C-alpha cells in the first residue's frame, strides 16, 4: 500500500531546506541536550544527529546569549533545519529569526499582549520562518483546564486552536501544531480530534515517555496509532537517553508500519521456540550491532533472522534476505529461496557481505 494514499491532507510548510506537511516525507526530529551556550558541544551533537538521519534538530534557546549558537551552527556545516525552542520571551524569538533560525517553537498565548505576537509575526513572516505551537497536557492554560476539569483531548485542542488563532489574526499560517501528553491514549485522542479541526501539519510525540525501552513502546503506541490513521507530518520520539537513540526509535516505528522510502533496514526475527538449535538471541544482537557499525542500517530492505530451517525461510518469505538456524550452521536465503549453508561462527559476517552486494 502507498502510505501517502492514506495520509491526511495538510498544508505544506517550508522549514529551512525541507518541507513538513502535504506530500513531504514525514520528518524525524530530535532535540539536543547540551547547554546551548556551549557552541562546540551543541554543534557536535547536531552533526551527530544529522549523521543518524535526523531531519530537523531543535535546540533550546533560554536567553539572548544562546541565540549566538544559531549562526555558529549554520557556519559550521549544519544543514538540517534548526528549531529554536523558546518559552515566554518574545524578544528571544525575534533575535532567533534575525539570526537565521529555520523554525520557532513558541506559544503565542504565553508571550503577553497582541503587540508582542505581532512583533514575532513581523520577524518570522518575511523570512519564511514557521512557528510550531506546542501544547502539552502538563502546562495547559488555567482557564481552559478549569472549563474542562482535566487535560482532556477537547481541552488540549481548544488550547492549540486558541494559540493558532492569535497568529491567524495577523494572517500568519505557517503553523505546525503539536499536542503532547505522557499518556499515549490521551495524545492519540487529542491528535485525532485536532486533525478534524485544522489543516496544519501535526508534529507527533508522547512526552515524558521514559527510558529507551518504555519510551519506545509508549511512542510506538502513540505515534504509531496516529500514523496508521494517516495523521502526522513530523515526529519526535522523546527518550530519557542519548538524542541519537530517538532517531533509531522513530525509524523503527516507520519500519513497523512499512512507511516505505523513509525507513531503513527492517530487521525481523522469530521469538525462538523448542525448535531453535542456535543462539539466535546473541546472533540478532550481534547482527544489529554490526549492521550499525557497517553503516548499512539505512538500506531499505527487510532482513530476517530465524531460529530454524523448518519454518524460518517460509515464515520470513517477505524478507529480502535472511538466515535460518540449524545445528552449528545456518541457511542463507533470499526471498524465501535457500542460497547456501554457512557455519554458525560465520553467519553474521557472510550475511553482512551478502547484504552489501544487494
Ligand atoms: Fe520456532 Fe522456527 Fe518459528 Fe523460530 S522460526 S519460532 S525456531 S518454528
Q: How confident is the model at residue 174 (pLDDT cuts 50, 70, 90)?
A: very high
Closest residue by Cα to atom 5, ligand 1, is 312
Query: In this predicted structure, what is the pLDDT of residue 245?
Result: 95
Average pLDDT of the segment spanning 3-23:
94
pLDDT the model gives residue 263: 65
275 lines ligand 1 (CB under 6 A): yes
The reported pLDDT for the residue numbered 199 is 97
Inform me whether the pLDDT recorded for 19 exceeds 90.
Answer: yes
Checking if the pLDDT of 2 tops 80, the result is no
Roughly how many angstroms between the first and final C-alpha of the chain, as a whole number? 23
- Å from CA of 279 to ligand 1 middle: 12
* Confidence (pLDDT) at 30: 97
Q: Which of 268, 269, 310 has the most ligand 1 atoms within 8 A of CB, as the residue to mutate? A: 310
Q: What is the pLDDT of residue 210?
A: 92
User: Which of 45-49, 104-108, 172-176, 294-298 is the least confident region?
Assistant: 294-298
pLDDT at 305: 94
Q: Is the CB of 149 under 6 A from ligand 1?
A: no
> What pLDDT band is residue 262 in, cutting at 50, 70 and 90?
low
How far apart (Å, rounded) are the C-alpha atoms in residues 102 and 87?
A: 17
Residue nearest to atom 1 of ligand 1 (CA): 273
Give, using CA atoms, the residue closest to atom 7 of ligand 1: 307
DSSP label at residue 330? E
Going by C-alpha positions, the residue among 312, 314, 341 that lies closest to residue 329 is 341
In this structure, what C-alpha cell is assigned to residue 149? 476539569
pLDDT greater at residue 2 or residue 218: 218
11: CB partners within 8 A, 6+ apart: 21, 22, 173, 199, 200, 201
For 291-315, the pLDDT digits (tens) are 989 989 888 899 999 999 887 777 7
Ligand 1 in reach of 313 Cβ (< 6 A): no
Q: State the Cα–Cα distance between residues 248 and 212, nearest whole angstrom.
A: 10
Q: Is 1 in the pocket of ligand 1 (CB under 6 A)?
A: no
| CA–CA separation, 166 and 162 (whole Å) | 7
For residue 324, the ligand 1 atom closest to its alpha carbon is 5
**pLDDT band at 192, cuts 50/70/90?**
very high
What are the pLDDT digits (tens) for 222-245?
A: 999 999 999 999 999 999 999 999
Does the Cβ of 175 fall within 6 Å of ligand 1?
no
pLDDT class of 348 with cuts at 50, 70, 90: very high
CB-ligand 1 contact for 106 (6 Å cutoff):
no
User: Pocket of ligand 1, candidates 275, 314, 330: which has the most ligand atoms within 8 Å of its Cβ, to mutate?
Assistant: 275
Residue of 302, 301, 290 whose CA lies nearest to 350? 290
Percent of the chain with pLDDT over 70: 99
Q: What is the pLDDT of residue 336?
A: 78
* Whether the predicted pLDDT of 23 surpasses 80: yes
Residue whose C-alpha is closest to residue 55's, from 233, 229, 214, 180: 233
What confidence score (pLDDT) does residue 260 get? 64
Amino acid at each position: 500500500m502507498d502510505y501517502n494514499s492514506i495520509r491526511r491532507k495538510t498544508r505544506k510548510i517550508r522549514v529551512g531546506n525541507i518541507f513538513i506537511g502535504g506530500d513531504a516525507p514525514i520528518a524525524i526530529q530530535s532535540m539536543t541536550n547540551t547547554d546551548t551556550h556551549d557552541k562546540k558541544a551543541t554543534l557536535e551533537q547536531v552533526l551527530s544527529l544529522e549523521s543518524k538521519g535526523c531531519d530537523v534538530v531543535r535546540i533550546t534557546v533560554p536567553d539572548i546569549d544562546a541565540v549566538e549558537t544559531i549562526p555558529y551552527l549554520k557556519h559550521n556545516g549544519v544543514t538540517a533545519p534548526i528549531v529554536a525552542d523558546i518559552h515566554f520571551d518574545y524578544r528571544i524569538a525575534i533575535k532567533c529569526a534575525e539570526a537565521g533560525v529555520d523554525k520557532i517553537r513558541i506559544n503565542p498565548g504565553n508571550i503577553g499582549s497582541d503587540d508582542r505576537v505581532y512583533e514575532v509575526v513581523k520577524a518570522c513572516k518575511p523570512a519564511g520562518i514557521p512557528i510550531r505551537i506546542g501544547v502539552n497536557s502538563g502546562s495547559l492554560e488555567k482557564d481552559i483546564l478549569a472549563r474542562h476539569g482535566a487535560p482532556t483531548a477537547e481541552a488540549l485542542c481548544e488550547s492549540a486552536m486558541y494559540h493558532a488563532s492569535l497568529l491567524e489574526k495577523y494572517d500568519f499560517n505557517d503553523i505546525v501544531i503539536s499536542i503532547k501528553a505522557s499518556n499515549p491514549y490521551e495524545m492519540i485522542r487529542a491528535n485525532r480530534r485536532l486533525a478534524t479541526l485544522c489543516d496544519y501539519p501535526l508534529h507527533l510525540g508522547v512526552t515524558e515517555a521514559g527510558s529507551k525501552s518504555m519510551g519506545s513502546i509508549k511512542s510506538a503506541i502513540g505515534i504509531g496509532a496516529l500514523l496508521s490513521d494517516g495523521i502526522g507530518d513530523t515526529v519526535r520520539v522523546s527518550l530519557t537517553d542519548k538524542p541519537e537513540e530517538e532517531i533509531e526509535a522513530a525509524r523503527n516505528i516507520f519500519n513497523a508500519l512499512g512507511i516505505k522510502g523513509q525507513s531503513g533496514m527492517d530487521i525481523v526475527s522469530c521469538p525462538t521456540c523448542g525448535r531453535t538449535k542456535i543462539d539466535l538471541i546473541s546472533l540478532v544482537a550481534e547482527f544489529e550491532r554490526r549492521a550499525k557499525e557497517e553503516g548499512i542500517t539505512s538500506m531499505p530492505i527487510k532482513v530476517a533472522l530465524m531460529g530454524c530451517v523448518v519454518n524460518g525461510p517460509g515464515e520470513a518469505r517477505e524478507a529480502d534476505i535472511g538466515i535460518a538456524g540449524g545445528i552449528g550452521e545456518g541457511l542463507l536465503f533470499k526471498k524465501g529461496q535457500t542460497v547456501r549453508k554457512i557455519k554458525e561462527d560465520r553467519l553474521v559476517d557472510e550475511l553482512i557481505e551478502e547484504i552489501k552486494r544487494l
